[in-house]
Chain A
């Protein structure tokens, strides 16, 4: 079992502090959902953990199995097992999904080692079948001209191929219609298992009826203000975030 520990994490962009001390531990095999209104720092936290250059960690630490990853570049963090499923994944014109994933896997191999092409394609097609993705998909340029649903499916396919220890899924449900949401959720559920820890970022309960979390956290103004099990998500859905805010104010 591996663990991703987030300890008293403070994150700024420019002069502005967005994340104001988050502590959370995710073990492989667990799904944690972070919920909260827009602009409370959920995505910022995920990007900072993945090493986005626009965000500065001013305080606190992030550790994998007890070892800090903050000194590492974003690509090293990725190779250590951090995967960020982007809310808005970038386009890479002219680079097919197949070639992109191959390059990403090649980057994980020791110098002088070459990826086995036939084995690679076999595995790629297996994962695509699992995620019900058309074979033609892999020859398209990464995210170029993709619909919202296709972009998210491409992210899940990448996650399936790269086999991270921890996946930070940033608003994976945004921009999806109900069918696409079901397909993407099925994909995530099929990857769920003892070797993967997931942090699901969302502001709707909707996603959590497809991907049922083990733990739910509510983030408001850069802090986790309430944690519970999956029932907390349902409670939030019926009572709204104002209920948590009021509770905070009276506390």
Chain B
């Protein structure tokens, strides 16, 4: 173990060039239950697999993924050079739940405490989110939910358990929607994944309450390389919510999750994400759903914070009359780049897809919409409607839109609308004249801009989103 536990300070050390992490210094005890050390090799992968007591096929899956990861180039030629700043050798790829931070509540910076207070985060959760406690004790809430849905035959557990207890379901769908080699980061995730959810909903079961990962995150290493697999069997319905609006003060600077959804005939899946990463994080996530006949997959994706987010939730419309929808809100503040969008791949007749994207660029923040709509030859009656709206707050803010639409054949309806607007000085003056401060006026403008989308969020999420925008905008003026 000495080899693994020697360079402890490296957790706090900066694994990415150009980011000072010392202000939020996290220090950990000398002993981890499990730690794979820094850097990535076949030994790291074996170590993770051994710790998790995985079946040989999974180990093999991981090893193959590692090879794919190592052979694939970074996708910088089309997105951003910033990816090149990730130092893969300095990252810890597995750190299990044994970690115990030394930091006390008194050491948590005032502005972070204030943020928690303003967001109305309960006391216990604040400590967890600030890294004071490694575990957020929600075990009780989680097992209640788990039990309640189990009565309907729904399986809801973390993916490590899922692999162990339900290999017959897991293996059938795992890596099928997003193959290992889809992109460099899906390969990385496939090699070192840990945590994430596994959900199976039996035929005809409609899960009445949204299932939330929030109740489950304590068990894992906060989703650095999450792997989520959700299968809704014929005619079933599920809403899943991931993340929370509280800022995550992460020690890890690379987050690379893979989320696969499978909606069998007539099933409906709604997957809601609200993420607010600290500004040192690379958030590179692959999310895709496979929609069978007459099924529906809807991604609601809200990205705030991070240094760079690259995320394009997609739906492969495989069965006749399948429907796919992506609703996305991205807010890029100073120094941040939100590169988000959607992928809609039509692969059957009469399939429908909808993309609505709204982005806000603040200060020197940059928001990019990147969308793919693909309708190949030989299909009929496919429809796509894409709408992307960008709001610029300052004159030096930036937004880009890169839609890629391929339609073969002439029996389809495809529509793309885009708009860019700017908060005008007159609008701000008008609001200030009614007594709002400049910051409040900005917040209100931004909230108004996303209002029609935010209304589709569950109530508590839309309220939190509003508060979060208020907080983000407060710092943007003056």
Chain A residues packing against B (C-beta within 8 Å): 50-54, 73-75, 78-79, 82-84, 86, 89-95, 99-101, 103-104, 107-108, 141, 158, 162
Alpha-carbon distance between A202 and B441 when the two chains are bound, in angstroms: 29
A-B pairs with lowest CB-CB distance, top 3:
A94-B448, A95-B448, A94-B451
The smallest C-beta distance from A97 to any residue of chain B, in angstroms, reads: 11
Partner of B440, one of A54, A74, A99, A107: A107
Alpha-carbon distance between A15 and B432 when the two chains are bound, in angstroms: 25
Q: Would you list which residues of chain B between 412 and 456 have a CB under 8 Å from chain A?
A: 424-427, 429-438, 440-441, 444-445, 447-452
B436 x A90 contact (CB < 8 A):
no
Chain B residues packing against A (C-beta within 8 Å): 424-427, 429-438, 440-441, 444-445, 447-452
Alpha-carbon distance between A74 and B429 when the two chains are bound, in angstroms: 8
What are 9 residue pairs bridging A and B, where the CB atoms are less than 8 Å apart in the complex?
Answer: A50-B433, A51-B432, A54-B425, A75-B438, A95-B447, A107-B434, A107-B435, A107-B436, A107-B440
Central interface residue in B429, B440, B441, by most chain A CB within 10 Å: B429
Alpha-carbon distance between A104 and B445 when the two chains are bound, in angstroms: 13
Neighbouring A residues of B424 by C-beta, 8 Å:
90
With both beta carbons as reference points, the residue of chain A lying nearest to B453 in the complex is identified as A94
The smallest C-beta distance from A110 to any residue of chain B, in angstroms, reads: 13
Neighbouring A residues of B435 by C-beta, 8 Å:
75, 78-79, 104, 107-108, 162
With both beta carbons as reference points, the residue of chain B lying nearest to A50 in the complex is identified as B433
Neighbouring B residues of A103 by C-beta, 8 Å:
436, 440, 444
Central interface residue in A53, A103, A162, by most chain B CB within 10 Å: A103
The smallest C-beta distance from B142 to any residue of chain A, in angstroms, reads: 32
Neighbouring A residues of B437 by C-beta, 8 Å:
73, 75, 107
Central interface residue in A53, A74, A95, A141, by most chain B CB within 10 Å: A74
Neighbouring A residues of B434 by C-beta, 8 Å:
78, 100-101, 104, 107, 158, 162
Central interface residue in B427, B436, B447, B451, by most chain A CB within 10 Å: B436
Alpha-carbon distance between A90 and B426 when the two chains are bound, in angstroms: 7
Partner of B429, one of A52, A158, A162: A52
With both beta carbons as reference points, the residue of chain B lying nearest to A158 in the complex is identified as B434
Neighbouring A residues of B431 by C-beta, 8 Å:
90, 92, 100, 104
Neighbouring A residues of B426 by C-beta, 8 Å:
90
Neighbouring B residues of A82 by C-beta, 8 Å:
433
B448 x A86 contact (CB < 8 A):
no
With both beta carbons as reference points, the residue of chain B lying nearest to A84 in the complex is identified as B433
Neighbouring B residues of A141 by C-beta, 8 Å:
448
A92 x B429 contact (CB < 8 A):
no
Alpha-carbon distance between A194 and B43 when the two chains are bound, in angstroms: 84
Partner of A92, one of B433, B438, B440, B445: B445
On whether A75 and B436 interact (CB within 8 A), knowing A89-B430, A90-B430, A92-B427, the answer reads yes
With both beta carbons as reference points, the residue of chain B lying nearest to A85 in the complex is identified as B433
Neighbouring A residues of B447 by C-beta, 8 Å:
94-95
Neighbouring B residues of A100 by C-beta, 8 Å:
431, 434, 444
With both beta carbons as reference points, the residue of chain A lying nearest to B427 in the complex is identified as A90
A73 x B432 contact (CB < 8 A):
yes
Alpha-carbon distance between A91 and B438 when the two chains are bound, in angstroms: 16
Q: Knowing that A51-B433, A101-B434, A103-B436 are A-B contacts, what are 5 other residue pairs whose CB atoms are under 8 Å apart, sorted by A's residue number? A: A74-B429, A74-B432, A92-B448, A94-B447, A162-B434
Alpha-carbon distance between A89 and B440 when the two chains are bound, in angstroms: 18
Partner of B451, one of A73, A95, A107, A108: A95
B425 x A53 contact (CB < 8 A):
yes
The smallest C-beta distance from B453 to any residue of chain A, in angstroms, reads: 10
Neighbouring B residues of A51 by C-beta, 8 Å:
432-433
Alpha-carbon distance between A92 and B451 when the two chains are bound, in angstroms: 11
The smallest C-beta distance from B442 to any residue of chain A, in angstroms, reads: 12
Alpha-carbon distance between A101 and B427 when the two chains are bound, in angstroms: 15
Neighbouring A residues of B433 by C-beta, 8 Å:
50-51, 74-75, 78, 82-84, 86
Partner of A94, one of B429, B436, B449: B449
